[in-house]
Every structure is written in structure tokens, then in C-alpha cells.
């Protein structure tokens, strides 16, 4: 149960009645119920929260989202606030200002991760929660931002309720989650998990810009990256609020998603090696067409992924065709094969069938298809107690939930290496994300922040 709540205040109740258009009689009745519950047996004189009462300020949260969207704003809508860019620096400065206004003690670690600390009443490991504020090029205004600003809003709600927590609380804004420059993604949380490459400080981008220089500008230090590692046991748990980036919640009209886990990803680079020859003089029966074989291979991936029930997905995202001339039979084609699912055994089984199909296609097309060893990111399952805390918080708030996996990667999957973790999803209109049309409504965003707030309090009570 939540430990304590706002004290009853008639003026506040009247304002909320106007905001949510609740009749005054209902407001008075609710107030009476709060007062009765305050002295109910077993409550030790502490007032209990009415189930649908809201603690976060929807209008204030939405205003901060709109303000953040100005940094890196695109003419067509959305943002290009790519990590390690001027727009990213501006967005980070804005968020750090919000943290300080909220009374948080702000620090930046060696990897550029931003942390905002709030004291607890007991000497306990910290409860960590947050997300990221960088975007993909030509991305939207909600991916990462909802969880980051929702975390700050949860702190504001705690302050306004004059509520203390047993655990210290810390809001985190992870660096370069999207992987815009210097690294493939999840940069800051990879540093926290201690899994960044050893030579990361030496990296440069295509223009020659140095990662070390950008980290210095962000308040980090590439030469001391090891100091960003968070040892297991120092974090009691991690929560991340995020937009779904898919269509399941939106289509089902369910406001809250309880994330079961973040899918594992198996990635191979494959090559079809044939023989490049003149397109006009080589008969069809004598060709070793690498592109024809690769095309069949792409369809084989789709067929094998679809061959069994489940939520697994498979993707071939690009092809490199050589020599790439209209009058030359393709002699070499490279392409990736990416498979995702929560079950690593299912990923392995599908991959085995795909590779068998590739052997058959190669023989039939007189082309050799080879694939590299899989680059495998294991699934990161959420902690069962955290999932139940999210569900219980949603029930208390009168919001329906749906259990679902995350098909996208998140910083939470790295945090799972050193702490228990859970994730809360809110709907994405039409399932659109990483695009200017990405959208979640003010009500949906506020619902997510409210469940984050309530879940934090539930976790704070756990031993």
C-alpha cells in the first residue's frame, strides 16, 4: 500500500473538481470518504488515497514536453536532437534546469549521464528511474521524453504532497540512447553496466569529431569511463516510463502497458557469393546470380519467422549489391538477418531453420550463402514484483493494463544487468514512432506519469 498522501485541502479539491469537471457534490462526497478512511482501523491515522485521485499535474507535464520539443525542432514537425550534437546539449541543459527547480541535486557522470538525487529517510539503496532525451534524426517528441519528464513530474508531485520516501530517489537521463554518433546505441546505460568497448574514448565520427571532446562538453570524461559503472547492489530497482512505439495499446484502447521484458536480438551479416558476368551474353541457365539468391533468402527469413505462433519478428533491413551496374549480373550481395523475441530458444530455433533454408537456396541458385556468427543481445526480463506493483498501481488508479513485450531496445535492458527493473508503456497513436507523426495524448502521458508515481511508492515499501 502507498505510505502516505496529500493532506485533504478543500481549495485543492475544488480546483481538481473544476479541472476534471466533477460536480461539486461528488467532490464533497469524495472528501468525506477521505476523512473517514483517514481514521479507519489499521490505518494508524494516515489518510488513504481515493482510487482515482491524481497526483501529477497533466498541464505542467505537457508544457515541459512542448518546451523540450523546441530543441532540435524540425520544420516538418518532430525533432532531430541526435546525441552528441548542439541540440542535444541544449535539451540536456533544459532538463538539468528543471531538475534543479524541483530541488534535486544534479550531477553528471563520466559517460555524460545526468542524475538528480532526492534524499530518503533511511540508509537504503537508491530507487532509480528515468529515460533519455536524445532522438533519432527526424524523430518525434515523445520517445524518451515522456519517461524523462514524467520522472521529474513524479518528483514534483512528491514535493507538493510533502511526502518522504524510505529509499533515496534518483532521476536519470541516459546519454545517447539512440546511438546517433560514436556508438550503436544505449551508450550511457552501457557505461553504467560496464560493457562499453575498452577503446571507446578514442572514437571519432565520419567528420573527425572526437567522442572525448563531446563528453567533455557534456560534463563527462572519456578517460575515466570506468567510473560510470554502477555496481550491483547499489540500486534497489529501476523504473522506466516509455511510449510503446507499437500499436497494441492504441488498438486495444488500453492506457497502461506492463512490460514483460525487452526482446533479445540476434544479428548476423550474410553474404551471397556468385559470379559477376555480362548481363547480355550470359544465358539464364548458366548464371550465378547473387541477388536472385539473396532475394529468395529474404523471403525465407519472413517465411520461417511466420511459421510458428508468437510475437517473434525477423527483418532484413538493407542490401549491398556488387558491382551494382544495370548490365552486370550481381556477383556479391551482403545483407543482415535480425531476429527478435523474448525467448532466446525460439530465436535460436528460427535462426537454425533460416540457415538451413539458405543452404538449400545456395545449391539451387549455384551461389554460396554464408553468415557470420550471431551478435546476440539476450532478452532482459522485467522483475515479477515490479510488474505486479505496476498492475496494482493501475488498478488503484482505475486504469486497465495489458502485459506485452518491448520489441524495441531500451536502457532498461542494460540496467537489468545490475538491478531489478520494470517498464511502463503508454499508447503510441497508430503505433508510429521514430517519426514526426509520433504522438501520445496529454491524458495518456499523464496516466503514465501517475502510474510511475504510484509504483515508486509501492516499491519504496518493499523490503
- Predicted confidence at residue 51, as pLDDT, reads 64
What Rg value do the Cα atoms of the chain yield, rounded?
25
Q: What residues does 234 pair with on adjacent strands? A: none
Q: Cell 544479428 identifies what position?
A: 267
- Predicted confidence at residue 9, as pLDDT, reads 39
Helix (H, G, I), strand (E, B) or coil at 170: strand
Cα 104 to Cα 432: distance, rounded to the nearest angstrom: 33
State CA 428 to chain mean position distance. 13
Q: What residues does 128 pair with on adjacent strands? A: 170, 238
Q: What is the 3-state secondary structure (H, E, C) of 104-163?
A: CEEEECCCCCEEEEECCCCCCCEEEEEEECCCCCCECCCCCHHHHHHHHHHHHHHHHCCC
405 and 259 Cβ atoms separated by less than 8 Å: yes
pLDDT in tens, the chain (463 residues): 333 333 333 343 333 333 333 343 434 333 443 333 333 333 333 334 446 789 999 999 999 999 999 999 999 999 999 999 999 999 999 999 999 999 999 999 999 999 999 999 999 999 999 999 999 999 999 999 999 999 999 999 999 999 999 999 999 999 999 987 888 789 999 999 999 988 888 899 888 999 999 999 999 999 999 999 999 999 999 999 999 999 999 999 999 999 999 999 999 999 999 999 999 999 999 999 999 999 999 999 999 999 999 999 999 999 999 999 999 999 999 999 999 999 999 999 999 999 999 999 999 999 999 999 998 888 999 999 999 999 999 999 999 999 999 999 999 999 999 999 999 999 999 999 999 999 999 999 999 999 999 999 999 998 7
- pTM across the whole model: 0.81
104 and 118 Cβ atoms separated by less than 8 Å: yes
Cα 47 to Cα 49: distance, rounded to the nearest angstrom: 7
Grid cell in block for residue 31 = 472528501
Cα 116 to Cα 127: distance, rounded to the nearest angstrom: 12
**Axis crossing angle, helix 24-38 with helix 10-19, rounded to the nearest 10:** 140
Cβ burial of 349 (10 Å; 0-12, 13-18, 19+) is middle
Q: Cα angle vertex 455, ends 43, 141, to 5°? A: 145
Q: What φ, ψ does residue 229 adopt, rounded to 5°?
A: -65, 135
Start-to-end CA span in the chain (Å): 13
Amino acid at each position: 500500500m502507498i505510505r502516505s498522501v496529500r493532506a485533504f485541502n478543500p481549495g485543492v479539491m475544488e480546483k481538481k473538481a473544476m479541472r476534471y469537471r466533477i460536480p461539486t457534490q461528488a467532490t464533497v462526497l469524495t472528501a468525506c470518504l477521505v476523512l473517514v478512511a483517514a481514521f479507519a482501523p489499521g490505518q494508524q491515522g494516515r489518510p488513504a488515497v481515493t482510487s482515482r485521485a491524481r497526483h501529477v499535474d497533466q498541464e505542467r507535464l505537457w508544457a515541459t514536453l512542448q518546451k523540450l520539443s523546441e530543441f532540435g525542432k524540425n520544420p516538418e514537425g518532430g525533432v532531430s536532437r541526435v546525441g552528441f550534437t548542439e541540440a542535444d546539449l541544449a535539451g540536456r541543459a533544459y532538463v538539468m534546469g528543471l531538475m534543479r527547480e524541483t530541488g534535486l541535486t544534479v550531477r553528471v557522470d563520466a559517460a555524460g549521464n545526468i542524475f538528480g538525487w532526492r534524499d530518503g529517510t533511511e540508509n537504503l539503496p537508491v530507487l532509480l528511474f528515468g529515460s533519455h532525451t536524445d532522438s533519432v534524426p527526424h524523430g518525434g517528441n515523445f520517445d524518451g521524453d515522456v519517461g524523462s519528464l514524467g520522472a521529474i513530474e513524479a518528483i514534483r508531485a512528491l514535493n507538493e504532497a510533502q511526502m518522504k520516501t524510505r529509499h533515496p530517489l534518483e532521476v536519470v537521463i541516459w546519454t545517447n540512447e539512440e546511438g546517433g554518433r560514436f556508438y550503436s546505441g544505449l551508450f550511457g546505460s552501457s557505461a553504467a553496466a560496464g560493457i562499453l568497448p575498452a577503446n571507446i574514448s578514442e572514437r571519432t565520427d565520419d567528420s573527425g569529431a572526437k567522442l572525448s571532446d563531446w563528453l567533455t562538453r557534456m560534463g563527462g570524461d572519456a578517460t575515466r569511463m570506468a567510473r560510470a559503472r554502477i555496481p550491483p547492489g547499489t540500486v534497489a530497482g529501476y523504473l522506466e516510463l516509455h511510449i510503446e512505439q507499437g500499436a497494441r495499446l492504441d488498438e486495444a484502447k488500453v492506457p497502461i502497458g506492463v512490460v514483460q521484458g525487452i526482446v533479445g536480438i540476434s544479428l548476423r551479416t550474410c553474404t551471397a557469393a556468385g559470379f559477376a558476368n555480362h548481363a547480355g551474353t550470359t544465358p539464364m541457365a548458366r548464371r550465378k546470380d547473387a541477388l536472385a539468391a539473396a532475394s529468395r533468402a529474404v523471403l525465407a527469413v519472413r517465411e520461417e519467422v511466420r511459421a510458428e505462433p508468437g510475437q517473434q519478428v525477423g527483418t532484413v533491413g538493407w542490401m549491398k549489391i556488387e558491382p551494382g551496374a544495370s548490365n552486370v549480373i550481381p556477383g556479391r550481395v551482403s545483407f543482415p538477418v535480425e531476429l527478435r523475441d523474448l525467448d532466446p530458444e525460439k530465436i535460436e530455433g528460427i535462426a537454425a531453420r533460416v540457415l538451413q533454408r539458405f543452404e538449400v537456396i545456395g545449391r539451387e541458385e549455384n551461389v554460396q550463402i554464408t553468415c557470420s556468427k550471431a551478435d546476440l543481445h539476450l532478452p532482459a526480463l522485467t522483475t515479477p514484483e515490479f510488474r505486479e506493483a505496476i498492475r496494482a498501481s493501475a488498478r488503484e488508479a482505475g486504469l486497465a493494463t495489458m502485459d506485452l513485450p518491448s520489441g524495441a531496445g531500451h536502457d532498461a535492458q542494460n540496467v537489468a544487468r545490475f538491478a531489478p527493473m520494470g517498464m511502463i508503456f503508454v499508447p503510441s497513436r497508430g503505433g508510429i514512432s521514430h517519426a514526426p507523426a509520433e504522438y501520445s495524448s496529454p491524458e495518456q502521458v499523464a496516466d503514465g506519469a501517475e502510474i510511475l508515481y504510484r509504483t515508486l511508492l509501492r516499491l519504496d515499501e518493499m523490503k
